Structure 1
Amino acid sequence: MEKKPLILITNDDGITAKGIRTLIEVMCTIGDVIVVAPDSPQSAMGHAITINNTLYCDPFVYDKEAAHKEYSCSGTPADCVKLANQQILDRSPDLCVSGINHGSNSSINVIYSGTMSAAVEAGIEGIPAIGFSLLDYSADADFEACRSFVKSITEQVLKSGLPKGVVLNVNIPKLPLSEIKGTKVCRQAKAMWVEDFDKRTSPQGRDYYWLTGEFINQDKGEDTDEWALAQGYVSIVPTQFDLTAHHAIQELNSLDF
């Protein structure tokens, strides 16, 4: 009998979020599943890890009939991957999948994303990894159209592997399955958040702030994730965690530091 792949699942919306429950259902059709996910929402945590507080990771039961094991972690998405790989699992997983995130992680959002940071942490530890996101921020988002793409992309990665030092950032448009045109392997669009802080005063007279902003896509290319999503495609961006600007090394070497 062929051995099933061991798949680690995590997210940043919390272990009870609808997106991760959908991801668990899909992954259980592919391999043996272990879930280690935050006990509360950790969106926009980036690659934060817990170093000055205690970490808790307790068994969690969502479905008494489920065959897989789940753990609820008090830490960040990156913490979840570290704990799973170093303390909970008896071997390194064959794949780590993170998500399905409630909301976009395309373009510059990948920098802030807890979903993608979990995938990147897995990649750093030598585990093939994919972050999945749906362009719908609603807690009750409909993930049905995601299922077939999540399954096919996962199966292809398990079959063929990924280039060394690369994880996948997969974003799925908020469309019915019949209207999604397919997948596009893309580059990350050059875009940014133009931010502002809404200053308010509490009833106690203390100033406080709400972060607001507008997403601006500065990239007109037709090979980007933002273009693909706008055209009704699932975007797949190969993402690396080596942040070296290799193209700048020669120029900087000419300077007198």
Structure 2
Amino acid sequence: MDEPHVLLTNDDGIDSVGFRALYDALSRFADVTAVAPNGDKSAVGRAMSREVQVETHDLGYAIHGTPADCVVVGLEALCPDVDMVVAGCNRGANLGAYVLGRSGTVSAAVEAAFFDVPAIAVSLYVPGADGEWQEKAKDPLDYRNATAATTYLVDHALGAGVFEQAEYLNVNAPIHHEDDDPAPIEITEPSTLYDMRAERDGERISLTDNIWARMRDGDIPDPEGTDRRAIVEGRVSVSPLTAPHTTQHHEALDALAETYLT
């Protein structure tokens, strides 16, 4: 296809390292318009604002709002002629079915899907103990696996017909280390493992996602073919997904409806 026009957003903020790494990589072959939050809006899901302030930025537009806001504002008001929406690169993986609704990065891709615009959400797996991982992935080169996989998919997925079946792709890449070989791509499904914990201490209750600790310890029961298994073993996980909630016929619910008010 001709030079694709890409709307690039994220939830870490327009000035984050991962965002700039992906912007620079995509700009080598695509027309990229940045429409991203002016600051960190991580883990806000598909939260939506009634009104947002827009500022011009060297890369495009900085939005005082959420990632979902950015997609709506971009597709409706700022750059409605894009071929694809890309969200990322997020510092921190977005793995597992339970994460899809929480992540601002993934939610931006979901929002695009409701506009019938193909989308890719991109995140970087940054291993480390509590707090330790936040000191990593501060160099654009750390994102090389993520940017390489994303540019490949943006360049080829539309022409290959990928989005005739999938509405968006959730991509997670391992962090790149010097002298590493490029990480291969594996097509995956979101893991169904769920291990949230809540612990009460007087008037305070701490909520912990215990999966991260299990990943650090190598305690990963996820089977082959899941996103978490792929990323822990050093592969780029690409999950093809659809956005609308699915439904099916339920005979038991039909029976309840028939006896209502009787």
TM-score (structure 2 length as normaliser):
0.82
1:58 equivalent in structure 2: 55
**How many angstroms does 1:179 deviate by?**
4.6
Change (3 A) 1:139 1:70: farther
In the alignment, the residues of structure 1 paired with residue 251 and residue 84 of structure 2 have an alpha-carbon distance, to the nearest angstrom, of 38
In the alignment, the residues of structure 2 paired with residue 244 and residue 225 of structure 1 have an alpha-carbon distance, to the nearest angstrom, of 21
In the alignment, the residues of structure 1 paired with residue 103 and residue 204 of structure 2 have an alpha-carbon distance, to the nearest angstrom, of 24
TM-score (structure 1 length as normaliser):
0.83
- Match of 1:9, SS state, is strand
Aligned length: 238
1:112 equivalent in structure 2: 102
Deviations 1:89-131 (A, max 9, x none): 2x33101100001001111222210001001111110111000
1:204 equivalent in structure 2: none
**How many angstroms does 1:147 deviate by?**
2.6
8 A contact 1:15–1:37 mirrored in 2: yes
Q: Which has the larger helix fraction?
A: 2
Which letter does structure 1 place at the counterpart of 2:157? V
1:156 equivalent in structure 2: 156
2:42 equivalent in structure 1: 43
- Match of 2:123, SS state, is strand
In the alignment, the residues of structure 2 paired with residue 102 and residue 173 of structure 1 have an alpha-carbon distance, to the nearest angstrom, of 11
In the alignment, the residues of structure 2 paired with residue 197 and residue 114 of structure 1 have an alpha-carbon distance, to the nearest angstrom, of 26
Segment drifting more, 73-82 vs 165-174: 165-174
Matched, 1:196 2:202: no
In the alignment, the residues of structure 2 paired with residue 251 and residue 29 of structure 1 have an alpha-carbon distance, to the nearest angstrom, of 54
1:93 equivalent in structure 2: 82
Deviations 1:60-98 (A, max 9, x none): 13xxxxxxx511101100000100111112x33101100
In the alignment, the residues of structure 2 paired with residue 70 and residue 243 of structure 1 have an alpha-carbon distance, to the nearest angstrom, of 32
Deviations 1:19-63 (A, max 9, x none): 100010011012111000001111111111013xx31011013xx
Q: Which has the larger strand fraction?
A: 1
Deviations 1:182-226 (A, max 9, x none): 1111111112241326758xxxxxx66664331268854211111
1:172 equivalent in structure 2: 173
**How many angstroms does 1:231 deviate by?**
1.9
1:16 equivalent in structure 2: 15
Which of residues 222, 227, 230 is equivalent to 1:228?
Answer: 230
8 A contact 1:104–1:135 mirrored in 2: yes
Structure 2 unaligned segments of length 5 or more: list them: 127-132, 258-262
1:132 equivalent in structure 2: 122
- Match of 1:104, SS state, is coil
- Match of 1:171, SS state, is strand
8 A contact 1:101–1:134 mirrored in 2: yes
Structure 2 counterparts to residues 206-245 of structure 1, below 5 A: 211-215=207-211, 220-245=222-247
RMSD (CA atoms): 2.4
In the alignment, the residues of structure 2 paired with residue 19 and residue 252 of structure 1 have an alpha-carbon distance, to the nearest angstrom, of 48
- Match of 2:194, SS state, is strand
In the alignment, the residues of structure 2 paired with residue 43 and residue 105 of structure 1 have an alpha-carbon distance, to the nearest angstrom, of 11
Which letter does structure 2 place at the counterpart of 1:29? R
8 A contact 1:6–1:94 mirrored in 2: yes
